[in-house]
Each structure stands twice: as structure tokens, then as C-alpha cells.
Amino acid sequence: MIQEVRVIAKDGIPDSKGEEVLYEINQALGIKSVEKVKTARVFRFEGVQEEQAVLLAEKLLAEDVFEFFSVNKPVFSDAPFVLEVAYKPGVMNPEAASLLKSASDLGINGLLAADSAWQYAFYGHRISQSDIDRIINSLLVNATVEYVVKESPATLLIQGTPGQTTVVPLRDMNDDQLLELSRDKLFLNLQEMKVIQNHFNLLGRDPTDCEIEIIAQTWSEHCGHKTFKAKLIVDGKEKRPLLKRLRDTTEKLGHPLVLSAFVDNSGVMDFYEGMAICGKVETHNSPSAIEPYGGAMTGSGGVFRDIAGTGLGAKVIASTDMFCFAPPDLPETEIPPGCLHPHYLLRRVVAGVRDYGNRMGIPTNNGSVHFHSDFRAKPTVIVGAYGILPAQACRKGQPQPGDLVVAMGGRTGRDGIHGATFSSGEMTDRTIEVNASAVQIGHPIEEKRMFDAILTAREDGLIRAITDCGAGGFASAVGEMGSETGARIALDRAPLKYPGLAPWEILLSESQERMVLAVAPENAGRLFEICRGYNVEATVLGEFTGDGYFSATYHDREVMRLSMEFLHDGLPQRIMKAAWQKPSFAEPEIEPASDWNSLFQRVLSQLNVCSKEPIVRLYDHGVQGTSALPPYAGVNWDGPNDAVILTPLLGRTYGMVISHGLNPVLNQIDPYFGSLWAAAEAVANAVAAGADHREMVLIDNFIWPFPDEELLGALDLAVDACVDFSSATGMPFISGKDSLSSTYRGKDGSVIKIPPVLCVSAFGRIQDVSLTVSTDFKKAGSQIVLVGFRNTAEMAGSVYYQILGYTGNNLPKLNPSLLNEVFTAVHKAAASGILQACHDISEGGLAAALAEMCFGGGLGAKITVPGGEQAEQFFFNETAGCFLAELPAGANPGLIFGQVPCTKIGETIDACEISATRSGDLLFSLRLDDLKQAWQRPMKEVFR
């Protein structure tokens, strides 16, 4: 029998969940008939009596001060419409395991299963069934993972009989049949399918479903990086593969601080006192497009596991997030079939990142949000993580024959299957239905316990090698770790969330919160003891062999046997043509501004410029107690900083700096200079905070539409820009990721391609955090100095142009060698202690940077536009690698910055206004309060 407990807020206590849903209904859906929403948590328990359910409610589920509970009785009787929403059976519900564990801790025996759901009551006199249907389909229920509960379930136990391993008759298939087999699941082209067919022809047998699935996973774009490893033909000449260019440049630089680059789950650089820091940035675009909460959660969880799986195990100390969406007020008529509204996507992605990081105690402290209408079909969701570990533990050991294959952490389910292949294909109107099983819901508490166990095991010297179960699950984790030796696993040993999984599903499942370790047999006992102490499940799946094969059994029957050589080296290298054609965009005539107040406010309220503080405040960026420079500072703690600085070694002055840069609009105009801009902004953000770029490293993330010849040409130029930037500045790329599937194809023939995204992340070390700088103005009467090389006529892609309705062609053309000089000069000034404030110039130009410095410091500014400069270009040009610096009144900028261009453009004032003159004439005088309200308003309207 199932016992049901419902928990609701007492009368007079705010129902925050209900208020949030009501806001979404009114604002995102425009439905005004719903006047109030009340919610209740529903908990179900199978295998206990009613009095035990009451005990659970009293001790665990309801807080008596402000909540009321009922057992096996409804709590809503006066609402016109009541509905319940739950995860579908088989979808990870993170609360279920916690309910079972808590019941056991309370001494309640016999509990067989537990589950939870949400119940919603809608109030209003004019609510129609069509309103409720729209609320269900557009807001409350994501059909990939959730459903409306029509009646209480008869059982919570999932029954199932494991599917049989089948043989795929591949050798007899013609080309059409091979492509049909690949469609929707394998995402391999005909050449790749024929290579597989020929391989099994040589073996004289057909593959099992396990074998065909693991080959597709290993050879997917997501895992195999086929485009980045391809031979490129550009203008009739062969160029080195994209990935090789990046790696060769890093190797040629031979940076003394780099300890590991492009060979592990994250890149590693030296820190201080025998410690190292590491960083990895990933994308989770495809899952987030169809289930944004779960997609973002598992994106965070996955990149955290990349850090935990670096070397012999690292501690995660920071999380970052960079998002690209369509505008949240985009009309529903512009949303393609099979896609979700950007307002919903934005809020749910933010919630996913928030819940995973906050619950694990990992600070989310650096990020950005960007908007463009061409992200309306598929968003870009980038998540990063950074960690710390002993330098001597930064390289993995090599599994030895006889070492055990140990799986630890969460159990294996059907969630996440085909995640690697699904993420490698284009999105269509069918994606949300066909690939629903690729979506997962994360369980951060499970991952936290596992990480604690891993760090203890590392300290005890128990780990030979470790990696995470990311894309491809056991298939990729064990396959990669055993690539030099071979491995044999028994799939029936894997702990399952529920019965009924076929062997190939166990092999390929991407269920979250799992790691795989190589452990010497003599160390297994101590490892399992540690895991029991942290309530972490650990199982021996098999062993590493010396035969060079990856084999798997299921109940003693061999269901897979593939040579590691074919699995990892059999993928044919692609030969691809690249030819980018420079587009031509209309250019505006820049007329003198007639209303500077309106113009400034329009720029500051533009979605790519406005304050993102309402998002940042949802994240805990101070947990772990390491924040030396937070995301927001100033007199009211609402002035944005350019980078964040942590002190990961408590009690020491050593700092770790984290920053990033991207600008998709510029890549549409010219991917070479747009990519230089992204790299320059990433480094400029850190340098503005006082970092030395010579003690920093870079991470690249290329998020591209499906690469046809023209877009591959754009990608080729973007990689060239990264190479040129790295060579000129001496800053190596040590990690990266490519995601080349952000194209939507509608069944009506419509095609939507995202603007190409290059996100460059930077991280490094700082000797003394007391010499770092924030952006907020500190003192009235200080000099405001513009530092750096810029041509203000280069306005294409700027927010100012976008406001005028143009894109333009003449974008900022950065020179990496000159940037190097600027970075050196600004850091020298910061290290001397003379810089009082510093802010880099990016979206919104000098105007936005100046306003933000004023907002942070609670001070105004008096600006003089240099003679010969057009005021609109002077204020709104967006040349990355330029800075606004606050210097003491008597300082000599020329002596401080040397040969780098520097111009005093004004001074800070003890007044709440920004004024500007040119040739002695007053251009404008603007109230800071008005500007700040315009700057803060957009995200406040989305995140109330």
C-alpha cells in the first residue's frame, strides 16, 4: 500500500513556489485569468503504515512553524483547477534516494520505494481549460521527463525484464539501410558506417547492439572531435587540423607553468607551495534545449566531475556559467516547432546551475548572459569549473593488467542514453520527442558525497587512475582508461536504479554522479571502507587486462568484444573543404545624438549590457570562504567586477583569477577578428583586476552551427585567431571543447543557425591578492584615464549599431602584439599600487564601463571628449583590450603606462551625474539614478 503525505504552507506564510509559477503564467504566457497559485509537495511511500508516514511528515517533511501536512487526504478543496506534476517513472528524482536514506536513519523499516511530486491549485474566476492546457504544455510539464498525474500510482516499484542482446545484421545492409540505422541514434555518416561494416566483414561476423552503440559513441563528434581532427582544404591547399594547430602552438610556447594540457579531463597549471590549479569549460546545449533545468544541472555536474577526475583527483573550488539565449520577450509566434520559449529557458537554466552548485557548496562566481534572436531554436549553455590539487598528483597513472575497474557514485538508469550521439546531431522539430532519453536530472548531494570519498582515497594513495562517466557512460570511461591495456567488465554487476535495462543501455547510460577508478586489488578493501563512510556505493565491474580488447559480459555471456585499436583509431579522418565568404552588412550614417539621456539609457538597458545581478544573487559565490574579489562590489555591492579572485589556500595571500570573453555578433561579421576580440576580452577582464597575463592560461570553447563549407571556413579563421593570439601574448590554450551542432532544421525547410560562439576562458595565479583592483571609483577628484589602442570608427557589431538597427562591417581589428604591450603596462600599474580602479571596455563601450564604475563607487564623472573625436563613436566604440583607469589627481599617466596610448579624459566628482563637454560645449549632463534604473530594469523584470 502507498501512503501519501502532502505538505503546504500555513495561512499567511508566503508560498514562494506558487508566486513564481503565477509570475511565469502572467508574464511569460500572458495569461491574466489566473489570480493566485498555491502549491503543495506530495510525497509517496510504499511498504510502510500510515503511522510511519505521519512520523516521516513530523520529523522530516514538514516544518511545524510554517507548514501543515496531511496524510492520505487532499489539501486543496476550493480551487477551480488542481493538478499534480511528477517525474516520469525511471527519470532520476534526486529526492527519492534521500527519502529512503532518511527513513532508514529514523528507524523506519520495510520502506520499499519513495517518490515526490508537486501539486498546483489555480484560483481565478475566468480560468478556462484552454488556459490550464497551455500552462501545462508551456510551463509546468516538460514532456521529456515529466507528466501530469491523473491518479495515484498502484506501485512505485519499476518492474522490467532486461532486454536481450541482439545481433545487428550489418554486413548485409545496403547504403540506404546503413543510413537508416544511423538516423536519430548513431549520427554517423555513410563513410563511417561502411568502415564499421568492412571491419565486421573482416571479422566474419555481425556486431551486437552493444558493439554498434559503443562505436557510434566513441566516434561521435562530441567524443571524437572529427571536425577538429579533419584535414582541411582551404583555397585548394591543405591546412593542419584545427586541434593540432592549437596543441602545437601550446607545445611550442613551452610555458613553464603548464603542467598538463589537452591530455586530461581539464588543463592544469602550477600554483604555489606545491599545489596546482586546473580548469575545464564544457557545453550542454542540446540537453538544455529540450529540458533546461536538467540539462543545466547535468552540465554543471559533468564539468565538476571533469575536475574531480583530473590527475588523481582535484577539489572543485569554483563554477562559471556563460549563456546565450534569444530575448526573453520574443513573441511566441517566432519560436520554431519543437523548441521552448527563451523566457522559460533562461529561468530554468539559471535554476539548474543554481541548484547544483549551491547544493554542493561550490561557488558560482563568474559568468555572463548574451542575447540574440538566432538562439531561439537552440541556446548556448556553457558551464565551467576550476579546482586545486597537489602538483605531484596532477597526472594520471596508467592502469596495470590486473587492476580493478571500480564504479562509484550513483546508480545506472536509462537517463542519458544517446547523449553523446544526440549532442552531435542537428536539432529538428522531432528532437524533443526522439531524444528524450538523453535528458537527465542531476543529484548534487550524491556527487558531493562521492567527491569527498575521492579526495580521501587520493590522500591515502589508493587511486591509480580516475575519470568520470560523462558522455558514453561506462563505454567511454572504461574504454578511454583501458585504451593502452584492454579491459573486461561484467555489465550485470552495475548497480541499477531499476530493473529492465538491456546490456547496451547499461554500457551507454550517462546517468549522472558516477566515476570509474583503476585500483590495485590490494587497495580495494580500504577504498570500499572509505566509500561506506561517506554513504557512497562502489562496485567492482571488472578488471584491466593486457589483451588490447574491450570486452563485456552479461550474466557470463559475452556481449561485446572490440579491439581498442579499432575503437579508438579506426575512425576515418575526414577531409573537409572550408571556404568562408565575408558577408556584407548595411552601414548606418551616424547622426549627432539629439537626446543623450535616452541614448545612454537605451545602451545601458540593452540585454547584452544590462546588469545581470538578479541572476548572480541566486548563486552562492562566497561559499568555501575564498572570495577575495566578488562578482559585485562597491559602496552598495552592485557594481560589477571584471573577474573574480579566490584565495584557495586559506591563510595565504595567493590568489586564483578567473575570467572569460565572448561576442557572437562579431563572429557573424568576421570570425577572425571576432575571435581575437573574445580572447582579448577574457584576458583584459583579468588584467583589469590586477592579474599578470604572463601567469595565466586559456581555455577555448567553440559552439558552432553544423559546419558546412562556409561555416567550417569561419571555424578555420577562429582557430587561426586563437593561435595568433596565443603566439603573440605567450598565453597557451591548455583545454577546450567544440560543439558543432547548433543548427535547427524545420520540417518546412526552415534553417536557423546560431551566431558562431567562441568563448575564451582565462585563469591563473596572483602572488598577492592585496594588490588587485576592483572597478568601482574610489575618490572624488581622481583622474579618469583611457588606456589602450583603439580606432573609434570601428563600430560594427556594437550595441550602439544594434540600437540603430544595423550590424555594420568595420568591426574592431585588434593587434595581439599591441595588446600584449597594453596588458603588461596595466598590470605593472596595478602591481605598483597606484591604480585605484580599473575596468575593461566591452559591450556598451566606454559609456557602459564609465557608468558601471560610477554606479559602484557612488560617484559621478566629468568627461571631456578629445578634439577630432565624434562623440557617439568615442562613447560607444567597443574595442576590447582598452581600459578605463582611476589614478590619483597628481599622477602622470605617461610615466605610469609608458609607450602605451593613455589619455586623461576626465575626473571623478562628488555628484550623482555624468557630464561631458567637447570643445568647451556641454554635450550632456545625466543623472546616475536614471541611468542605473535603466541598467538594472531588464533582468529585474525577468527574475522577480
Distances (CA, A) of 584 to 325, 627, 708, 810, 838: 25, 45, 19, 10, 36
Q: Which position has the grid cell 492520505?
A: 72
Answer yes or no: is 398 a known binding residue: no
d(CA 850, CA 886): 11
Provide the grid cell at 567: 575503437
Backbone angles phi, psi at 481, to 5 degrees: -65, -35
Answer yes or no: is 306 a known binding residue: yes
Exactly one of 125, 199, 222, 555 is catalytic; name it: 222
d(CA 26, CA 33): 8
d(CA 217, CA 211): 10
**How much is the CA Rg of the chain, to the nearest whole Å?**
28
Backbone angles phi, psi at 412, to 5 degrees: -95, 130
Helix-strand-coil percent breakdown of the chain, rounded to 5? 35, 25, 40
Q: Which position has the grid cell 594520471?
A: 396
Answer yes or no: is 700 a known binding residue: yes
* C-alpha 670: how far from chain center: 25
205 Cβ contact list (under 8 Å, min separation 6): none
Answer yes or no: is 468 a known binding residue: yes
Residues 566 and 199: beta-carbon distance below 8 Å: yes
Q: Of 863, 371, 372, 362, which Cα lies nearest the Cα of 622?
A: 362
d(CA 100, CA 858): 52
Distances (CA, A) of 70 to 1, 63, 110, 213, 380: 17, 13, 22, 48, 43
331 Cβ contact list (under 8 Å, min separation 6): none
880 Cβ contact list (under 8 Å, min separation 6): 661, 663, 677, 678, 680, 681, 684, 812, 814, 840, 841, 842
Answer yes or no: is 736 a known binding residue: yes
Q: Exposed, middle or buried by CB within 10 Å (0-12, 13-18, 19+), for 329?
A: middle
Exactly one of 125, 255, 284, 568 is catalytic; name it: 284
Answer yes or no: is 510 a known binding residue: yes
d(CA 452, CA 179): 45
* C-alpha 894: how far from chain center: 41
Provide the grid cell at 452: 569527498
| 343 noted as active-site residue | no
Residues 325 and 342: beta-carbon distance below 8 Å: yes
Which residue type sits at 270? D
Residues 289 and 299: beta-carbon distance below 8 Å: no
Return the number of other C-beta atoms located less than 10 Å from residue 233's C-beta: 16
Backbone angles phi, psi at 372, to 5 degrees: -160, 140
Residues 206 and 167: beta-carbon distance below 8 Å: yes
935 Cβ contact list (under 8 Å, min separation 6): 604, 605, 609, 610, 611, 851, 852, 855
Answer yes or no: is 746 a known binding residue: no
Is the torsion defined by CA of 85, 90, 92, 97 positive or negative?
Answer: positive
730 Cβ contact list (under 8 Å, min separation 6): 253, 255, 694, 820
d(CA 666, CA 381): 19
| 555 noted as active-site residue | no
Beta bridge partners of 915: 862, 925
Answer yes or no: is 280 a known binding residue: yes
Q: What SS3 state is found at 689?
A: coil
Answer yes or no: is 440 a known binding residue: yes
Distances (CA, A) of 150 to 82, 96, 119, 155, 870: 11, 20, 12, 14, 66
Catalytic residue set: 222, 284
Sequence ranges of the binding site for ATP:
280, 700, 736
Sequence ranges of the binding site for Mg(2+):
282, 306, 468
